Amino acid sequence: RKGVGKLLHLMHWSRPDVLNPVRDLSRDMQVASKATMTGMHTAMNFIIATKDLGLKLSPRQELDENRGFKFRIEEDSNSDYANDISNRQSIIGYEIFLEGAPVAVKSAQQTMTTLSSAEGKLVSGTSCAQEMLFVMRIL
């Protein structure tokens, strides 16, 4: 549990690139198997080997004090198709950028079973658009 907890902390604050492996590892926190331990060590070794990677918060432009300033919100979303063999649900993921700096990252299992990869990508894009509207309304 301690190892997965450390990975969750890293994932949340500086390493969103390990969202999927950590999400899979956190499913087995109650009863860890040998495969879970191997996966945790693999994830930790990856983080150590790529310690120069991580979030980079560098906006493209400075905030202008005039009323005409417009923020630029961008996204990157994707989905796999029925990757979980136990329930055939897809994994969605997206990242939202405000002026080039990441402000929201998500990787989760879909709550429904989609019938095609295109439908899975539509669900991922819709979730991302909802989060983008939330970010826009905060501004």
Residues 50-75 have pLDDT tens digits of: 888 777 767 677 766 766 777 888 88
pLDDT at residue 92 tops 90: no
Nearest to 103 by CA among 69, 67, 68, 139: 139
Q: Which residue has the higher pLDDT, 133 or 86?
A: 133
Cβ atoms of 82 and 88 within 8 Å: the answer is yes
pLDDT at residue 130 tops 90: yes
**To the nearest whole percent, how much of the chain has pLDDT over 70?**
91
Mean pLDDT of the chain: 81
Query: How far is the C-alpha of 40 from the C-alpha of 115, rounded, in Å?
Result: 32
- Give me the mean pLDDT over the 69-91 stretch: 81
pLDDT value of residue 60: 73
pLDDT at residue 12 tops 80: no
Neighbours of 14 (CB within 10 A): 13
